[in-house]
Amino acid sequence: MTSRRNRGRRRGLLSAMGRAAVILAVVTVDFPILTVVVYAFQPNQAVLAHHFDPGQFTAANFALLGQLPFAQYVINSLVVSAGGAGLALAAALLGGYALSRFRQRALAGYARLLLIVQMVPVVVTLLPLFLVVRDLHLLDTYIGLILIYAALLLPFATWIARAFFDSIPIELEEAAWVDGCTRLRSLVRVVGPLAGPGIASIATLSFITAWNEYLLASVFLTGPAMTVSVGLQTFTEQIGPIGGAVMAGSVLAMIPSLAVYLIFQRYFVSGALAGAVKG
């Protein structure tokens, strides 16, 4: 920590002008998001006319959402995102543990296969996947999309899990084995509590990725089972030019991702870095 402070003193800092320019640039970057938030609280006519009225802030758009099945979409999204992230996390912790603690040629090959899988465009597998899901009678069911999201998230989740297990010394586990623990129990009892940051990283990255996903959700959950992203897109098509309700819905659609990101920022970033640098 002290070295960091020294570094801060020594590194060339920006002038006031430079700082102002950077801050202005950052605000510009966030401008599209900010306009959505501001216009969510403007009357519908103002939104339709692209007119900004500082004296007219209202929550009417959110009330209008209440007449649409938006709450149901939020529930759908929460179920499939949490379910998919949870399943991916569980499978990735077991898999990442195996890749970190055992040395086999086939395991290294499997790890490389996961990298390749991450490059497969979703569109390639989409059609055959549709047939599989249909044959299992899982179209328009939560379980169907939860399984699909788990598979989508597993490769990078496993890589992050492996990186975190690599940072936990095996000697801790060996002590537990001597005391009669099995591999699985030492994973849960000894490594588990230490892997907290890793678990938080995987969970936050996975949840946000699943919550934001559009293409798979649009194919595998339709009708009343739609997710928020898909529902919002159909609103923009139905209500015609984007209305106040869509702005309000956009704000609500952002909240879970933003909340998870802001609360678990450190873990989210460290997970993304672990995935990037290891990969």
63 vs 184 by CB, closer to other proteins? 184
Instruction: Considering only residues 15 through 34, tell me which ones interact with other proteins, judged by CB under 8 A.
Output: 18-19, 22-23, 25-27, 29-33
Q: Which of 85, 154, 191, 226 binds other proteins (CB under 8 A)?
A: 154
**Measured from the CB of residue 27, what is the shortest distance to other proteins in angstroms?**
8
Nearest approach, Cβ of residue 60 and other proteins (Å): 18
Write out the binding residues for other proteins, residues 93-122 only, by CB under 8 A. Answer: 94-95, 97-104, 107, 110, 116-122
- Give whichever of 1 and 262 is closer to other proteins, judged by the CB atom: 262
Is residue 13 within the footprint of other proteins (CB under 8 A)?
yes
Q: Which is nearer to other proteins, 60 or 187 (CB)?
A: 187
Min. distance of Cβ 143 from other proteins in angstroms?
12
Interface segment toward other proteins; rule CB under 8 A; list 55-63, 65-73, 191-199, 231-239: 231-239
**Segment 247 to 276, residues that bind other proteins, using CB under 8 A:** 250, 253-254, 257-258, 261-262, 265, 269, 272-273, 276
What is the C-alpha separation between 262 and 276, in angstroms, rounded? 20
Write the DSSP string, the chain: -HHHHHHHHHSPPPPHHHHHHHHHHHHHHHHHHHHHHHHHTS-HHHHHTT---TT----HHHHHHHTTTHHHHHHHHHHHHHHHHHHHHHHHHHHHHHHHH---HHHHHHHHHHHHHTTS-HHHHHHHHHHHHHHTT-TTSHHHHHHHHHHHHHHHHHHHHHHHHHTS-THHHHHHHHTT--HHHHIIIIIHHHTHHHHHHHHHHHHHHHHH--HHHHHHS-GGG--HHHHHHHHHHHSSS--HHHHHHHHHHHHHHHHHHHHTHHHHHHHHHHHHHH-
Q: How far apart are CA 106 and CA 95, in angstroms?
A: 13
Binding-site member from 78, 151, 200, 239 for other proteins (CB under 8 A): 151
Q: How far is the CB of 241 from other proteins (least distance, A)?
A: 7
201 binds other proteins per the rule CB under 8 A: no
Nearest to 168 by CA among 183, 190, 139, 145: 190
Residues 256, 72: contact at Cβ < 8 Å?
Answer: no
CB of 158 to other proteins, least distance (A): 7
Task: Rule CB under 8 A: choose which of 170, 172, 188, 263 binds other proteins.
Answer: 170
Near other proteins by CB under 8 A: residue from 79, 139, 143, 242: 242
CA 128, chain centre distance (Å): 25
Q: How far is the CB of 202 from other proteins (least distance, A)?
A: 13
Q: Which 36-75 positions form the footprint of other proteins (CB under 8 A)?
A: 36, 39, 49-50
Comparing CB distances to other proteins, the nearer of 61 and 186 is 186
